[in-house]
């Protein structure tokens, strides 16, 4: 048996930890700064690292030599409205940079994407954009480009999906990333809205929506470019088994699919293309959904899933040797490889725990060494942060609710409780270091994070159990967790506040009118106050509207409309008894700012204690540093006053 020895870990943190990091109570800014670095990746040849670097507002694109800490800015945006969303290496010298801004179209705010190509030294910046027959707001919204494939054998080109106003649907293009030259690959004859390629960049799969039933999806498939497209599979979202192709074996006429077929959890299947039937169940986890597949040399060699952290399962133990080496080297951290060179000798590894902020490490396997690189939150690296505890509860109807309770380090007195439900609601909390949780605990509060029904990752039954349960059983699950938490040692159950973002903000507002005296206060960040208005607003988008109708309710159906009215705070302002803080981004494209503005006016007119904070250039997320600092400062003052 071959024994893997840990790499030699050399160097320190490259002088990135300020001397004030060990202050007794760090200021708000230490938690509210954006992560110093994000999305780092190694160039295919392993010579450079590209990364997003916080600039005091959003992010710039910077590049360093592999093994070095010096970062050179190559792309930056002016302060305010625009965001850099992601970066990727297109080849050894050229980066793709995706940016976005918000535009008002027909009274609605839309996120408009822009794609650029640039050399790693900042030269030869080119916008990747096809020349449409017309240039108006709607065309700009539809033309959000989506990279389908990077062509290893043809580094000057990529395969890109872009909207074609003549066909009125997206089509696949081969694009020269130096000259911004577009070549349409074929005509979209099947009203496909999303295209997918294989590992060689060949477009093999298309996803179409039915005009008469927005929930009905059909996959079209062709094994080679000279063959006709054939229908692979149709399914109805929210009703039929999920069908998500993740790979192909053309030789054996197989597709590899993530589906909850029979298992009730996303699992990996092989699917016979000729017979249009599931063939073999390759992997299923007894508790969690499969999150993704692991590929190597164009073959699927394993899967990932989340328990508290990301976990990997390899079908062949020999494939796990590199991950085992990393785990042995960083035995005290949860680690995963975020990027590697094509020859797999240079790696970028992310390490984190529940109480240690994430840090990146550069691994050079040829030299057998690992070097600490940048930390996400350098101000918090040397601070003692709070440990996170797991809990599991049974609901009255037999579901198991998992979640986390984090107590402040100082346990000499009982801590007031922050109930902190996640957004989505089809998302979930994990045990990773959470800057907001650590902010609350640094101020002496305990934090409760329940993964209530409707949360993702726990299987179809658990997620579906949340359908049409906004304000009802989903809310009950949160309160069940609260009932448990207040009986735990060190928790002051007489002093509690609900704080949430997006759906979590809805939970806070619902608690404000359904359990108005149980909590001292409520904080809603980009939360929903009027379900009927939200669902009706989404009616302009057929697919989103159909999903909302199935999962939340149909505003045109009287029974659904009544249920949603009963569970919307805007209709129960008179029941509010405790202070509310409303925070909303001015340019939110997910939840209309009117959800907070209208509620503020109603509460203020009714003489209720309420404060409204509008964040300049704010999106649905606290992804602009001045906004995050202001939001945290407002929340700190609000909690100091009411807890």
For the stretch 472-517, pLDDT in tens is: 999 999 999 999 999 999 999 999 999 999 999 999 999 999 999 9
- Give me the pLDDT at residue 81, please: 73
Query: How distant, in Å, are the alpha carbons of 420, 594, 595, 607 from that of 601?
Result: 25, 10, 11, 10
548: β partners: none
Sign of the Cα torsion 547, 551, 555, 558 reads positive
Q: What SS3 class is residue 322?
A: helix
**In this structure, are residues 276 and 300 in contact, taking their beta carbons and an 8 Å threshold?**
no
CA neighbor of 270 nearest in space, from 284, 283, 280, 260: 280
Tokens representing 493?
Answer: 């159950």
Distance CA 270, CA 141 (A): 36
| CA distances in angstroms from 240 to 215, 216, 258, 424, listed in the order given | 10, 9, 13, 21
DSSP string, 439-495: HHHHTT-EEEEEE-TT-SSS-HHHHHTTTT-TTTHHHHHHHHHHHHHTTSTTEEEEE
What integer is the mean pLDDT of 616-621?
94
Distance of CA 548 to the CA centre of its chain: 19
Distance between CA atoms of residues 256 and 243, nearest Å: 10
Residue 441 pLDDT grade (very low, low, confident, very high; cuts 50, 70, 90):
very high
Quote the pLDDT of residue 135.
58
Residue 15 pLDDT grade (very low, low, confident, very high; cuts 50, 70, 90): very low
Sign of torsion, CA 178 153 51 69? negative
Cα separation of 98 and 118, whole Å?
11
- pLDDT at residue 19 tops 60: no
**In residues, how long is the chain?**
643
Q: What angle do CA 275, 278, 284 make, to 5 degrees?
A: 165
Q: Which of 24-38, 205-219, 403-417 has the lowest mean pLDDT?
A: 205-219
How much is the pLDDT for 538?
75
Query: Is 136 buried (19+), middle (13-18) or exposed (0-12) by CB count in 10 A?
Result: exposed
Which pLDDT score, from 0 to 100, does residue 554 have?
A: 93
User: Are 209 and 217 within 8 A, CB to CB?
Assistant: yes
What are the angstrom distances between the C-alpha of 537 and each of 67, 548, 553, 564, 570? 50, 11, 13, 14, 16
Average pLDDT (297-314) is 92
Label residue 327 by pLDDT band (50, 70, 90): confident
Q: Give the pLDDT score at 414.
A: 94
The mean of the pLDDT values for the chain is 91
| pLDDT tier, 631 (very low <50, low <70, confident <90, very high otherwise) | very high
Position 269 scores a pLDDT of 97
CA 624/CA 216 separation, integer angstroms: 37
Angle between the N-to-C axes of helices 473-485 and 503-514, in degrees from 0 to 180, rounded to the nearest 10: 80
The pLDDT value recorded for residue 547 is 86
Residue 186: predicted pLDDT = 93
The whole-number pLDDT of residue 396 equals 92
The pLDDT of residue 2 is above 70: no
CB 328 within 8 A of CB 351: no
Q: Is the pLDDT of residue 531 over 50?
A: yes
Quote the pLDDT of residue 6.
47
Residues with Cβ < 8 Å from 447, sequence gap 6 or more?
404, 405, 406, 417, 418, 420, 437, 440, 441
Which position has the token pair 């508790």?
287
Q: pLDDT value at position 209?
A: 85
Residue 78 pLDDT exceeds 60: yes
pLDDT at 137: 55
What's the distance, CA 492 to chain centroid?
32
pLDDT at 4 > cutoff 60: no
Does residue 281 carry a pLDDT above 60?
yes
The most confident of 110-119, 368-377, 570-579, by mean pLDDT = 570-579
pLDDT per residue over 140-163, tens digit each?
A: 656 667 899 999 899 999 999 998
Buried residues in 70-83 as b, exposed as e (16+ CB within 10 A): ebeebbbbeeebbb
**Mean pLDDT calculated for residue range 560-575:** 98
Q: How confident is the model at residue 142, as a pLDDT?
A: 63
Question: Quick one: pLDDT band at residue 606, thresholds 50, 70, 90?
Answer: very high
pLDDT, position 20: 42
Is 241 in contact with 261 (CB distance < 8 Å)?
A: yes
Residues with Cβ within 8 Å of residue 340, at least 6 apart in sequence:
42, 346, 347, 348
Token pair belonging to 139:
């065309």
pLDDT bucket at 540, cuts 50 / 70 / 90: low
Confidence of residue 132 (pLDDT cuts 50, 70, 90): low
| Contacts of the segment 503-508: beta carbons below 8 A, 24+ positions apart | 503/421, 503/422, 503/423, 503/424, 503/425, 503/527, 503/528, 504/420, 504/421, 504/422, 504/423, 505/423, 506/470, 506/471, 507/419, 507/421, 507/474, 507/475, 507/478, 508/419, 508/421
Mean pLDDT over residues 512-524, rounded? 97
Evaluate if residue 11 carries a pLDDT over 80.
Answer: no
**Is the dihedral angle over the CA atoms 595, 599, 600, 605 positive or is it negative?**
positive
Tens of pLDDT, residue by residue over 213-271, are 888 989 999 988 888 899 888 988 888 999 999 998 877 789 999 999 999 999 999 99
| Contacts by residues 97-100 (CB-CB < 8 Å, ≥ 24 positions apart) | 97/61
Q: What is the CATH number of domain 388-530+568-642?
A: 3.40.50.1820
Residue appearing with tokens 């579906």: 464
Instruction: Report the predicted TM-score, pTM, of the whole model to 2 decimal places.
Output: 0.93
User: Quick check: 349 and 338 in contact, CB under 8 A?
Assistant: yes
Among 73-82, 174-183, 528-537, 556-565, name the one with the lowest average pLDDT. 73-82
pLDDT tens for each residue of 334-383 = 999 999 999 999 999 999 999 999 999 999 999 998 999 999 999 999 89
Residue with tokens 């942060």: 385
Q: What is the mean pLDDT of residues 613-618?
A: 96
Hey, what are 536's tokens?
């009706």
What own/partner pairs with CB < 8 Å and gap ≥ 24 does 69-78 have?
A: 69/14, 69/16, 69/373, 69/374, 72/121, 72/122, 73/122, 74/118, 74/119, 74/120, 74/121, 74/122, 75/116, 75/118, 75/122, 75/125
Q: Are 554 and 535 in contact (CB under 8 A)?
A: yes
Return the pLDDT at 1. 27
Pick 212 or 67 by higher pLDDT.
67
Token representation of residue 499: 């704080």
Residue that is written with structure tokens 């705070």 in the block:
569
State the CB neighbour count (10 A cutoff) for residue 156.
14
Q: How far apart are CA 37 and CA 359, in angstroms?
A: 9
């Amino acid at each position: 048996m071959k024994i893997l020895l840990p790499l030699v870990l050399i160097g320190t943190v490259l002088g990135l930890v300020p001397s004030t990091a060990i202050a007794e109570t760090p200021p708000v800014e230490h938690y509210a700064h954006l992560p110093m670095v994000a999305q780092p990746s190694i160039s295919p040849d392993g010579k450079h690292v590209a990364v997003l670097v916080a600039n005091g507002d959003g992010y710039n694109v910077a590049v360093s030599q592999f093994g070095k800490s010096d970062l050179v800015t190559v792309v930056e945006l002016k302060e305010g409205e625009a965001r850099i969303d992601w970066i990727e290496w297109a080849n050894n010298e050229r980066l793709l940079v995706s940016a976005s801004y918000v535009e008002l179209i027909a009274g609605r705010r839309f996120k408009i994407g822009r794609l650029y190509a640039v050399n790693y030294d900042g030269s030869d910046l080119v916008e990747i954009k096809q020349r449409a027959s017309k240039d108006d707001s709607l065309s700009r919204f539809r033309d959000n480009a989506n990279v389908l494939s990077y062509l290893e054998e043809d580094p000057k080109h990529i395969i890109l999906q872009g909207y074609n106003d003549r066909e009125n649907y997206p089509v696949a293009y081969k694009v020269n990333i130096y000259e911004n030259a577009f070549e349409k690959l074929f005509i979209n004859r099947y009203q496909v809205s999303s295209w997918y390629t294989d590992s060689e960049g060949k477009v093999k799969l298309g996803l179409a929506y039915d005009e008469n039933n927005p929930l009905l999806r059909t996959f079209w498939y062709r094994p080679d470019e000279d063959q006709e497209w054939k229908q692979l599979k149709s399914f109805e979202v929210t009703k039929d088994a999920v069908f998500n192709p993740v790979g192909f074996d053309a030789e054996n006429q197989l597709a590899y699919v993530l589906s909850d077929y029979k298992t009730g959890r996303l699992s990996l299947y092989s699917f016979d293309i000729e017979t249009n039937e599931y063939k073999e169940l390759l992997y299923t986890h007894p508790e969690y959904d499969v999150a993704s597949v692991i590929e190597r040399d164009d073959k699927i060699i394993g899967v990932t899933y989340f328990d508290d952290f990301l976990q990997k399962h390899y079908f062949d133990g020999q494939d796990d040797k590199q991950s085992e080496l990393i785990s042995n080297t960083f035995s005290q951290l949860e680690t995963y490889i975020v990027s590697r060179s094509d020859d797999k000798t240079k790696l970028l590894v992310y390490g984190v725990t529940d109480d240690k902020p994430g840090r990146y490490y550069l691994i050079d396997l040829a030299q057998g060494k690992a070097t600490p690189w940048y930390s996400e939150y350098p101000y918090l690296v040397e601070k003692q942060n709070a440990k996170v505890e797991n809990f599991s509860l049974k609901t009255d109807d037999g579901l198991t609710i998992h979640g986390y309770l984090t107590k402040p380090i100082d346990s000499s007195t009982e801590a007031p409780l922050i109930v902190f439900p996640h957004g989505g609601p089809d998302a979930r909390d994990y045990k990773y270091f959470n800057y907001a949780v650590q902010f609350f605990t640094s101020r002496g509060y305990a934090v409760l994070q329940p993964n209530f029904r409707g949360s993702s990752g726990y299987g179809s039954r658990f997620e579906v159990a949340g359908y049409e349960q906004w304000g009802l059983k989903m809310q009950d699950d949160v309160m069940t967790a609260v009932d448990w938490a207040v009986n735990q040692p060190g928790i002051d159950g007489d002093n509690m506040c609900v704080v949430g973002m997006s759906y979590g903000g809805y939970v806070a507002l619902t608690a404000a009118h359904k359990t108005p005296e149980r909590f001292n206060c409520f904080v809603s960040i980009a939360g929903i106050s009027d379900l009927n208005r939200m669902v009706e607003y989404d009616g302009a988008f057929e697919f989103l509207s159909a999903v909302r109708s199935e999962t939340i309710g149909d505003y045109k159906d009287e029974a659904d409309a009544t249920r949603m009215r009963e569970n919307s705070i805007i209709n129960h302002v008179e029941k509010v008894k405790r202070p509310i803080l409303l925070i909303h981004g001015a340019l939110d494209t997910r939840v209309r700012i009117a959800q907070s503005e209208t509620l503020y006016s109603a509460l203020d007119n009714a003489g209720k204690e309420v404060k409204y904070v509008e964040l300049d250039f704010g999106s649905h997320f606290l992804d602009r540093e001045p906004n995050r600092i202001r939001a945290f400062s407002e929340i700190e003052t609000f909690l100091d006053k009411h807890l």
